[in-house]
Structure 1
Amino acid sequence: MDLTGLPLALYGHCELCPRHCGANRLAGEVGACGAGAGLRAARSALHFWEEPPISGEAGSGAIFFTGCPLRCVFCQNHDISQGGSGRDVPVGRVAQMMLELEAQGAININLVTPLHFAPQVRQAVLLSREAGMTLPVVCNTSGYETPEVVRAMGDVVDVWLTDFKFSSGDLACRLMQARDYPEVAEDALVEMLSSVREGGGRLLGADGRMLRGVIVRHLVMPGHVDDSLRVLDRVWALCHNEVDISVMNQYTPNRRCLRAGGDLARAVTGEEYERVLDHADALGFERMWWQQGGTVSESFVPAFDATGVEGPVLSSTKDYGEGGRYE
């Protein structure tokens, strides 16, 4: 599959994500991600709940996109990942959002679950940069991505903020309907790290913001600490200290998990979380972010109410080759 320039024609037989569903999104079909050819976003605003190098004091300029190739039963963003909430927006509007977020003081542009819209998102970043946007671009992803798409986005993404959710294929199948997740996440992470190396390696600004690098997130799940330890083993074996690691303690049971009962209907215990942190220390991770108690709260989920989505559209007549002309 030739992804050079990420042409919009890729939507005609979509294989942008590891599902390789083949949907003709150009003809109105919906892919495994839940998206057609129209770009959809649910929120564009300053976001303060990411890791310190991403949010800083001023906030990250987060644009939340609609749809996701995973089907996580525990998803906190269900309204946009699987519920379809959001507004249709042209490429030029997304580019303008980036300029608006920079004007609001954002320290980066944080694209949340964007790669099932990779052709248009890439166009939007190029257009915003043409208009003067100077911030680093963060790709905030589940980790369930193809190396080809990661490679094709390398010229517009500076920071990869990626999940590594599970090491067990059985667990990934049961909780995300993606048995191949561990292998896919490994391959994607290798490509992300390669992209950062080619750019010159991890780089922080004088204020501590990340200008280039990889942060690997792992959400500790109640009752599945042993799998968390294996996730850290995988990340260490692949990356050692070339990446930052973020071990999260914010698992919050959603309504579906509460109804199902069992371990996923409760929070992570302090003992479970400490076991994972201790293992990360023992492996040798030097740059690790963790969360103190009291993080279990739905306050970490922003309102997906189309804040910042509607507004003026940035236009350009510049042609970026196969990616198409901006309208």
Structure 2
Amino acid sequence: MRQPSYLSLYREGKLQERIERALALISPACRLCPRNCKVDRLAGKTGICRTGDKAYVASYAPHFGEEAPLVGTYGSGTIFFSSCNLLCSFCQNYEISHHLVGKALEPAELAAVMISLKKMHCHNINFVTPTHVVPQILQALIPAIELGLDAPLVYNCGGYESVETLELLEGIVDIYMPDFKFWDNVWAERFCHVSDYREQAKKALKEMHRQVGDLQLDETGLAVRGLLVRHLVMPENIAGSREVMNFLSREISPHTYVNVMGQYRPCGLAHRDDRINRRITAVELAEAVKAAFHAGLYRLDEY
């Protein structure tokens, strides 16, 4: 059985230094993500993500609806963090991402959550929407390791990431699972109020792949390390599926494992915009899958 890479960093005494560097990214001026809110989160100030010095956890449990390489027999150990740095208007977890629900946890409490999932035999610890709480996750990792954590860590994010932050996670995160939401920034601006989504996502995915490479599976089909990309197909090709697939194949790797997601439905505030106030059609999903194959990608998942 492959040992998660973060155990080596722990044994070498290097995790504390990563924590200190991560905390420096949120105080005195937060630049943890490309929003660059520049607020002092350790002093109780909050920016777009409305999160200060503690991570809010909305829920945690074994999840059997994730990609097959993560689920296995006992499920993926998902920890859903409240709030988000992207705040898509159509988010399917709108109540969690747009509100601070759940409980603010101390590092020891978050460590206990990880251990609880380990005791349920989850195959991995899956941090859902972790971008804005990277320092808090790192703070909890040391006590979790000391309590016996040895499962792969999954960084399940929206793709709007800072390379500087991702560099702190090298040797810690085993599996990166980012979205690539939009190719055309017009739509990113309209639905997420960011004007540089494509540029930031491209840089982020390149850094993730540099760290962990293509998705690797063990003899049972479980993911142990690598990059797994999600792409949500949207009405009227708003997501830019063809361009995204070409980028993944040509600039990341033709061996990239891609989940072409066909479950879009109007959630959150989507009903306010006629362009996205409907489910996608079977034809729209088929066109996105065709675009992936045409780009040379072959490791495809669909749900």
TM-score if structure 2 supplies the norm length? 0.90
**2:275 is equivalent to residue 290 of structure 1:** no
Deviations 1:148-178 (A, max 9, x none): 1111012221000110000001111111111
- Aligned 1:242-257 pairs, distance under 5 A: 242-257=255-270
- Aligned 1:185-224 pairs, distance under 5 A: 185-197=201-213, 202-224=215-237
Equivalent residue number for residue 248 of structure 2? 235
Aligned residues: 285
CA contact (8 A) 1:213 1:243 kept: no
Measure the CA separation in 1 of the matches of 2:78 and 2:268.
26
Q: Which amino acid aligns with 1:235?
A: L
RMSD: 1.6
Deviations 1:65-109 (A, max 9, x none): 112111211111111211111211111111111111011121100
- Aligned 1:271-286 pairs, distance under 5 A: 271-286=283-298
Measure the CA separation in 1 of the matches of 2:202 and 2:35.
16
Q: RCO higher in 1 or 2 (8 Å CA, sep ≥ 6)?
A: 1
- CA pair 100-14 structure 1, distance change in 2 beyond 3 A: same
Q: Which moved more, 1:28-37 or 1:138-147?
A: 28-37
CA contact (8 A) 2:160 2:200 kept: yes
Deviations 1:35-92 (A, max 9, x none): 1112211111111111100112321000011121112111111112111112111111
Sequence identity (%): 36
CA contact (8 A) 1:34 1:82 kept: no
Measure the CA separation in 2 of the matches of 1:176 and 1:226.
13
Measure the CA separation in 2 of the matches of 1:185 and 1:224.
18
Runs of 4 or more consecutive aligned structure 1 residues displaced over 3 Å after TM superposition: none
Measure the CA separation in 2 of the matches of 1:10 and 1:290.
36
Shift of 1:241: 2.7
TM-score if structure 1 supplies the norm length? 0.83
Equivalent residue number for residue 137 of structure 1? 153
Q: Which moved more, 1:74-83 or 1:236-245?
A: 236-245
Shift of 1:255: 4.9
Measure the CA separation in 1 of the matches of 2:121 and 2:235.
37
Q: Which amino acid aligns with 2:261?
A: M
Measure the CA separation in 1 of the matches of 2:73 and 2:191.
34
Equivalent residue number for residue 102 of structure 1? 118
- CA pair 95-158 structure 1, distance change in 2 beyond 3 A: same
- CA pair 71-225 structure 1, distance change in 2 beyond 3 A: closer
CA contact (8 A) 1:28 1:37 kept: yes
Q: Which moved more, 1:139-148 or 1:76-85?
A: 76-85
Equivalent residue number for residue 71 of structure 2? 55
Equivalent residue number for residue 267 of structure 1? 279
Equivalent residue number for residue 173 of structure 1? 189
CA contact (8 A) 1:225 1:276 kept: no
Q: Which amino acid aligns with 2:264?
A: Y
Equivalent residue number for residue 11 of structure 2? none
List gaps (5 residues or longer) in structure 1: 292-327
- Aligned 1:143-154 pairs, distance under 5 A: 143-154=159-170
Q: Which moved more, 1:159-168 or 1:238-247?
A: 238-247
CA contact (8 A) 2:248 2:254 kept: no
Q: Which amino acid aligns with 1:273?
A: L
CA contact (8 A) 2:76 2:122 kept: yes
Equivalent residue number for residue 10 of structure 1? 25
Shift of 1:252: 1.2
Partner SS for 2:95: helix
Measure the CA separation in 1 of the matches of 2:86 and 2:301.
25
Measure the CA separation in 1 of the matches of 2:285 and 2:66.
19
List gaps (5 residues or longer) in structure 2: 1-15
